[in-house]
């Protein structure tokens, strides 16, 4: 294995997934990619019809800032483990689909994800991200409880 993807949304499950990814990278010389996906929050499609452009821009800035904070915390954990600098990336869109695109575009060998992320209601209604990844991924997916 040369490239490992760890998906994070800042949840406890994602923190456990990152801890496992760090252990794997300590044991083998593996390039660690940490990805946060903006989107997939299960918001109704028409939610933004009645808001101004400024309000939409503010919301977008808040999502980007949140993603940056999540990735910054992941970087700090990886640095504390004295691993090489990870590749940090933000994707957009449906979480599972965005992660699968990333896997294919970066020749990722395996994926580590938490069992349940921050979108619990969406997971209960539509099937969780981890379930979609396990079903659709062309590479090994490790789901951390």
For residue 73, the Cα-to-chain-centroid distance in whole angstroms is 13
Q: Using an 8 Å Cβ cutoff, are 25 and 4 in contact?
A: yes
pLDDT digits (tens, 9 = 90+) for 37-85: 997 555 555 556 666 777 778 888 888 999 999 999 999 999 999 999 9
pTM: 0.86
The tokens for 38 are: 């903006």
Average pLDDT over residues 133-141: 96
CA atoms within 13 A on the CB side of 40: 25
Q: Where are the domains of the chain?
A: 3-144
Q: Please give the radius of gyration of the chain, using alpha carbons only, rounded to the nearest integer.
A: 15
pLDDT digits (tens, 9 = 90+) for 7-21: 999 999 999 999 999
Which of 21-25, 70-74, 83-87, 120-124 shows the lowest mean pLDDT across its residues?
120-124
Helix axes 95-105, 129-136, angle to 10 degrees: 40
Q: Does the CA dihedral 92-128-13-104 come out positive or negative?
A: negative
Architecture of domain 3-144: 3-Layer(aba) Sandwich (3.40)
Q: Using an 8 Å Cβ cutoff, are 135 and 6 in contact?
A: no
Q: Using an 8 Å Cβ cutoff, are 101 and 39 in contact?
A: no
Diameter over CA atoms, the chain: 52
pLDDT digits (tens, 9 = 90+) for 88-103: 999 998 899 999 999 9
């Amino acid at each position: 294995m040369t490239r490992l993807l760890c998906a994070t949304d800042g949840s406890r499950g994602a923190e456990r997934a990152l801890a496992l990814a760090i252990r794997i990278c300590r044991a083998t010389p593996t390039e660690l990619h940490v990805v946060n996906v903006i989107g997939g929050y299960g918001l109704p499609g028409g939610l933004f019809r009645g808001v101004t452009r400024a309000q939409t821009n503010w919301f977008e800035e808040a999502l980007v800032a949140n993603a940056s904070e999540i990735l910054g915390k992941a970087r700090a954990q990886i640095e504390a483990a004295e691993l090489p600098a990870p590749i940090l990336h933000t994707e957009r869109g449906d979480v599972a689909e965005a992660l699968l695109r990333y896997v294919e575009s970066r020749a990722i060998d395996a994926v580590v994800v938490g069992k349940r992320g921050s979108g619990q209601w969406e997971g209960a209604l539509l099937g969780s991200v981890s379930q979609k990844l396990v079903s659709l991924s062309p590479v090994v997916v490790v789901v951390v409880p």
